[in-house]
Structure 1
C-alpha cells in the first residue's frame, strides 16, 4: 500500500506572515518539499518571492482555493505527487480563504495525501489595531492545530495576553506559539497528524477585499516612494506587496496595516499589488502618485 504524503495547510489573514513562514521553512527543512500557493491579486508576488529555491511549486492564481479552485487544487496535488513525489506538501492559502472547505476536500477527495495539520498565522500588531475578528479570520483561527502569533515584538506583553485570551476563546485546542518573523522550531509544525472530523461546509464565500496591480519598467525615486508608502493607509490600502526598482537596486516591498519595510531582492522591475476593502476607488489616484515617482 502506498504511503500517503503528509500535507500541511498554512492559513492566516492578509499580511500576517505566511510567505515569511514559507521562506523560513525552505531555508531550514532537509526533506523534499512541494508548495502550492493560492494568491489574492493579479500578480503572483508570493510565488515570485519563493521561486528559485530548491522546491517544486504550483500556483493556483486568481481565485480562492476554499471554493472556486477546489478542482484545480485536487489536480495540482495529484500532478505534484506523480511528477515530484515530495516528502511533504505545503499549501499556502490566500489571506481571504476559509479553510474548512479545503480541509474537507483533502480528507474526502485526495487519496494520495493525509492532512498533517493546519497552521494559522496571526498578526499581533494588526489584532491590536483592528480588534474586531471578521468571519474569515475566525474560521482560520478555529481550523488551526497550531497558531503562530507573529510580530509579537510590535506589541506589549499586556496586549499579547489579551490577544491570546481572544484566540483561545475561538480555539481551545490549538497551541499558541509566539514568533517574530515566523521564526519557529519546525518540529512544532510538522508531524502533527491530528485526527479531525471535518463536516462538509455549507457557506457561500464572499471575499471582503478587492485588489489591483501596477507594473512599470521605470526607475522610481526612493524618497518619493517612501512618502507615498507612509500615506497608503489613508487610501484604504490594508495590504500592499511587490517589488520596487530604485536607482541602486530592486527591493521587496511589504506593507501591512500602516507598517512597511523594504528588503533587497533580486528582481528586474517594479510590480505591485494593492489590497483593501474598497481600494479600487483610489486606484487611479494611487497609480498617478506612483507615476510622479518615476524618474
Structure 2
C-alpha cells in the first residue's frame, strides 16, 4: 500500500507571520520539507525569502489557491512527490485565500498525500487594531486545527485573553498556541493527523484586497525611507519586499502601521503594497518612494 505524504496547510490573514513561521521551521526542523507558496502580488517576495535554505520550492504564482489554481496545485503536489519525495509538504496560502476549498480538494482529489493539519496564523496586534474579523479571516480561523496566535509581545495579557475568547467563538476545537515571531516547537504543528472531514464549500471568492508592485535599481536614503514607511496610510495594510540602502539591501515588512527591516542578500529593490483600493494611490505612493532615492 502506498504511504501518503503528510501535508500541512499554513493559512492566515495578510501579514500575520506565515513566512516568518516558515523560516523558523526551516531553521529548526530536521526533516525534509517541500514548500508550496501561493502569494498575493505580482512579485514573489516570500519565495525569495525562503529560497536558498536547502528546501524544494514550487511557486504557484499570483492567483488564489482556493479557487483558480486548484488544478495547478494538484499537479505541483504530485510533481514534488515524484521528484523530491519529501517527508512533509507545507502549503503556505496567500493571506486572502479561503482554505476550505483547498482542504476539500486535498481530501477528495489527492491520493498521494494525507492532510496532516491546518495551521492558521493570527496577528494579535492586528486583532486589537482591527477588531472586526472579516469573512475570509473567519473562514481561515474556522478551518484551523491549530491557531498560532502570533506577535503576542505587542499586546497586553488582558487583550490576549479577549482575542482568545473571540477566536474560540469561531473555532471551539483548535488548540491556540501563543508565539512571537513565529517561534514555536515545530512538533506542535506537525503530526496532528487531522480526522475532520471538510464538506464541499459553496462560496464565491470576494477578494478584500488589491495590490501593486514596483522595482528600482536606485539606492535609497534610509532616513527618508523610514519617514516614508511611517507615513503609509491606513489603506495600505501590508507592504513587503527589499530595499537598497548605501550599506546594503534590507528585507522590509510592514503590517497595519508597524514595520521592521533586517539585512538580506538580494539583488535590487522590489516592493509590493497591499490594501483596500490601494491601486488608487499607486502613483502617489511610487512618487513619494522616488523622493527617497539618494
Say whether 1:260 aligns with 2:278. Answer: no
The whole-number CA distance in structure 2 between the counterparts of 1:13 and 1:106 is 21
Q: Determine the structure 2 residue equivalent to 1:192.
A: 192
Say whether 1:145 aligns with 2:157. Answer: no
SS at match of 1:153: helix
Cα deviation code 1:73-95 (max 9, x no counterpart)? 00000000000000000000000
Say whether 1:75 aligns with 2:75. Answer: yes
Q: Determine the structure 1 residue equivalent to 2:46.
A: 46
- In the superposition, the TM-score normalised over structure 2's length comes to 0.99
The whole-number CA distance in structure 2 between the counterparts of 1:36 and 1:243 is 21
The whole-number CA distance in structure 1 between the counterparts of 2:231 and 2:135 is 28
Contact 1:233/1:257 (8 A) holds in 2: no
SS at match of 1:233: coil
The 5-angstrom pairing of residues 112-191 of structure 1 reads 112-191=112-191
Cα deviation code 1:71-122 (max 9, x no counterpart)? 0100000000000000000000000000000000000000000000000000
Say whether 1:284 aligns with 2:277. Answer: no
The whole-number CA distance in structure 1 between the counterparts of 2:187 and 2:47 is 24
The 5-angstrom pairing of residues 11-30 of structure 1 reads 11-30=11-30
Q: How far does residue 233 in structure 1 lie from its aligned partner after superposition?
A: 2.4
The whole-number CA distance in structure 2 between the counterparts of 1:75 and 1:152 is 37
SS at match of 1:183: coil
The whole-number CA distance in structure 1 between the counterparts of 2:86 and 2:125 is 35
Q: How far does residue 12 in structure 1 lie from its aligned partner after superposition?
A: 0.2
Q: Determine the structure 2 residue equivalent to 1:275.
A: 274
Cα deviation code 1:22-76 (max 9, x no counterpart)? 0001001111110000000000000000011110010011110000100010000
- In the superposition, the TM-score normalised over structure 1's length comes to 0.99
The 5-angstrom pairing of residues 53-92 of structure 1 reads 53-92=53-92
The whole-number CA distance in structure 1 between the counterparts of 2:194 and 2:103 is 12
SS at match of 2:211: strand
Q: How far does residue 194 in structure 1 lie from its aligned partner after superposition?
A: 1.9
The whole-number CA distance in structure 2 between the counterparts of 1:189 and 1:229 is 33
Say whether 1:245 aligns with 2:244. Answer: yes
Is there any run of 5+ residues in structure 2 with no aligned partner, and where? none
SS at match of 1:39: coil
SS at match of 2:233: helix
The whole-number CA distance in structure 1 between the counterparts of 2:257 and 2:265 is 25
SS at match of 1:282: helix
The whole-number CA distance in structure 2 between the counterparts of 1:195 and 1:13 is 24
The 5-angstrom pairing of residues 203-214 of structure 1 reads 203-214=203-214
Q: How far does residue 292 in structure 1 lie from its aligned partner after superposition?
A: 1.1
The whole-number CA distance in structure 1 between the counterparts of 2:269 and 2:194 is 42
Q: How far does residue 180 in structure 1 lie from its aligned partner after superposition?
A: 0.4
